[in-house]
Amino acid sequence: MRILIVEDETKLAQALKESLEYEGFDVDIAHTGEDGFFLVNERHFDLILLDVMLPGRDGFDVLSTLRKRDLQTPVLILTAKDTVEDRVSGLDRGADDYLVKPFAVPELLARIRAMLRRGRGEQRAVVLKAADLEMNVVTRDVLRGGQAIDLTAKEFELLEYLLRRQGTVVTREMLARDVWNVSVRAVPLDNVIDVHMTRLRKKIDQGFAYPAIHTIRGVGFILREPNR
C-alpha cells in the first residue's frame, strides 16, 4: 500500500512518513500542492494525507482539482483549523475523512486502516446515535430526546469519542491519548478528565429516564443504549 503525504511542515511530514513506514506502508512526501499533483500523475497511491494550509494552492484547492479529474483515491484531510466551515468544506470537496491537528499517531493509523478497509465513497458517519442521543459532527448539534444540548468543545470531543466506540469500555488512558493528546498519563490529567466527564454526564444524562454513560469502576467509562 502506498501513501502520499502532502504537508509543508517538513518535520511533521518526516515523522508521519517514519510512523507509516514502520507500519509497512510505502510513503512519498510532497511539500506543496503542485508537488502533490506531480506525484499523483506519476504513480498510483492507495491513500492521500492532505494538509489544508499549504503554500500556494491550499489543500482544499488541491482536493477539488483531484476530484474534478475523477481521481478516486481516498483523501484524509489534516487540518489545524477546527471549524464547522472547514469540516463541511473538506467533506463537500470530496475528502473521505479529516483529522484535526495536533493528533495522536495511533488515531491517524486507525483512521487510515478504516479508510483502506471501506475504500472510497463511504464517508465517516456524520450523525452518531445511541438510542435517543444524537450528535451531528458537522453542524455540531447534540440532541437528547429531541432536546438540544449545549456542549463545550472538549465535552463535544469527549462525547464523539464515546459515541464512536459505543458498547465498548473507554479507559482514561485512551481519553488521555486520543482526546487530550497526551501520551504520559498523570494524576492531574485524570482529574481533568473526570471533571469534564462529570460535566458532560450532567448535561446529557441528568433529567433523563436512564443514563447513557456508565462508569466501569477501576477501568473507565462506557456509553451504551439501555438494556445492552
Residues that bind Ca ion (CB under 5 A): 8, 51, 53
Compute the distance between CA of residue 132 and CA of residue 20 in angstroms, rounded to an integer.
39
To the nearest whole angstrom, how small is the minimum distance from the Cβ of residue 198 to Ca ion?
36
Tell me the residue type at 98: Y
Compute the distance between CA of residue 122 and CA of residue 29 in angstroms, rounded to an integer.
26
Closest-CA residue to 20 (of 51, 52, 48): 48
To the nearest whole angstrom, how small is the minimum distance from the Cβ of residue 26 to Ca ion?
23
To the nearest whole angstrom, how small is the minimum distance from the Cβ of residue 71 to Ca ion?
21
The secondary structure of the chain in percent helix, strand, coil, rounded to multiples of 5, reads 40, 20, 40
CB-nearer residue toward Ca ion: 35 or 190: 35
For the CA atoms of 192, 131, 161, 214, what is the dihedral angle to 10 degrees? 40
Compute the distance between CA of residue 225 and CA of residue 26 in angstroms, rounded to an integer.
41
CB-nearer residue toward Ca ion: 7 or 155: 7
Residue 135 has phi, psi (to 5 degrees) of: -135, 135
CB-nearer residue toward Ca ion: 66 or 193: 66
CB-nearer residue toward Ca ion: 12 or 114: 12
CB-nearer residue toward Ca ion: 51 or 96: 51
Q: Which residue is nearest to Ca ion (CB)?
A: 53
DSSP state of 144: E
CB-nearer residue toward Ca ion: 9 or 205: 9
Residues 6+ apart with CB under 8 A from 222: 162, 166, 167, 168, 169, 170, 213, 214, 216
To the nearest whole angstrom, how small is the minimum distance from the Cβ of residue 78 to Ca ion?
8
Compute the distance between CA of residue 23 and CA of residue 110 in angstroms, rounded to an integer.
11
To the nearest whole angstrom, how small is the minimum distance from the Cβ of residue 51 to Ca ion?
4
To the nearest whole angstrom, how small is the minimum distance from the Cβ of residue 54 to Ca ion?
6
